[in-house]
Amino acid sequence: MRVGVVTFPGSLDDVDAARAVRVAGGEAVPLWHGDEDLRGVDAVVLPGGFSYGDYLRCGAIARFAPVMREIVRLAGPPDQARPGLPVLGICNGFQVLCESHLLPGALIRNDHRKFVCRDQRLRVERTSTAWTNQYQDGEEIVIPLKNGEGGFVADDAVLDRIEGEGRVAFRYLDGNPNGSYRDIAGISNASGTVVGLMPHPEHAVDPLFGPDVAADGQPGTDGLRFFTSVLKAVLAA
């Protein structure tokens, strides 16, 4: 199974994301921001970093990249029930998904105005997505977090809608690190094919380099199941 990993000018975690795909058993396919052809990939990862230097707003320029036009076309609108191309947006990738209107809401500067970098405990709240089907409802996991503009915001109507539709994928535990409304760490589209989150699962796929201890007391590989989940989802489609 082929998973495309997009590199924008300023991407930092594309190599890590590609490695996570390979560790999970998939083939990582490099995609450049200027590509108009996705090279027949089965899914796409938008990695973390500072696309286009975060000028204007985080993700605001990346949404206009040629590669994003094709991703938006294949992923479909956020409220469609029909499954489209599976897309995972990590940190800056989550910001790009919101700027591209593949996911609702926006990401703004952390409420304490400081960059945060720590191992973050999360609760899994939606397992019926292409990227979370290998987790259990309510499972607690530990995933590294690193951001300066990670506060998820939306108006009450949007928040109530995504809550009511079960589209909150992850919530922060043990304290809100960035001021995200309702402790939301990640959300999905209606069909569950598009998922965005601020923490970095690609940094928690190896017991040597992941968090010292995962939520279950085992070596820190809680992020690996994001990537095995999408392999299963595509093979089952």
DSSP 157-196: HHHHHHHHTT-EEEEE-SS-SS--GGGEEEEE-TTSSEEE
* Strands 184-188 and 168-172, sheet pairing: antiparallel
Compute the distance between CA of residue 186 and CA of residue 198 in angstroms, rounded to an integer: 7
Secondary structure of residue 97 in the 3-state scheme: helix
Closest CA to 94 of 139, 143, 134: 143
Residue from 91, 98, 149, 203 carrying the catalytic annotation: 91
Residue from 98, 99, 125, 200 carrying the catalytic annotation: 200
The yes-or-no answer on residue 165 being catalytic is: no
The yes-or-no answer on residue 202 being catalytic is: yes
Work out the number of other CB atoms within 10 angstroms of the CB of residue 164: 8
The yes-or-no answer on residue 27 being catalytic is: no
Compute the distance between CA of residue 131 and CA of residue 135 in angstroms, rounded to an integer: 9
Residue from 33, 99, 202, 203 carrying the catalytic annotation: 202
Residue 193 · residue 150 · CB < 8 Å: no
List, by residue number, the catalytic residues: 91, 200, 202
